[in-house]
Amino acid sequence: QLQLVESGGGSVQIGGSLRLSCDASSLTYNLYCMGWFRQTPGNEREGVAGLDVDGTTIYDKSVKGRFTISKDKATNTLYLQMNNLRPEDTGEYYCAANMRWTGAPPCTLRREYFGPWGQGTQVSVSS
């Protein structure tokens, strides 16, 4: 019944920018840590960025300083602003809620703590 919907992916050249969106309106506002994950063919999803209920943000070291996670409170939409994109950023991006974390912020970005998931949006960065 719960559903997250990602959008905003596309193809961009090196150094370009994209802004991914995640419609989280089916979730209770500000109840869960939210995260963005990236998956490439044959690999597991890896945590990219997280936003906890107190506003704390966490980033994988590969994107820190280039990506920014945020949330629009009015629409309950999660965003990932992606700047200075690199080919290594290519992949399918998913948003998800951490519904298993009961500790203090920031939440973990370990994949097994997150769900439900959206259907993903493709990001392709070309040289």
Quick: pLDDT tens for 17-62: 999 999 999 988 788 999 999 999 999 999 999 999 999 999 999 9
Find out whether 112 and 28 touch, Cβ atoms under 8 Å: no
Which residue reads 């392709």 in tokens? 124
Amino acid identity of residue 21, one-letter, is S
Quick: pLDDT tens for 64-115: 999 999 999 999 999 999 999 999 999 999 999 998 888 888 999 999 999 8
Find out whether 48 and 61 touch, Cβ atoms under 8 Å: no
Residues with Cβ within 8 Å of 122's Cβ and at least 6 positions away in sequence, in order, are 9, 10, 91, 92, 93
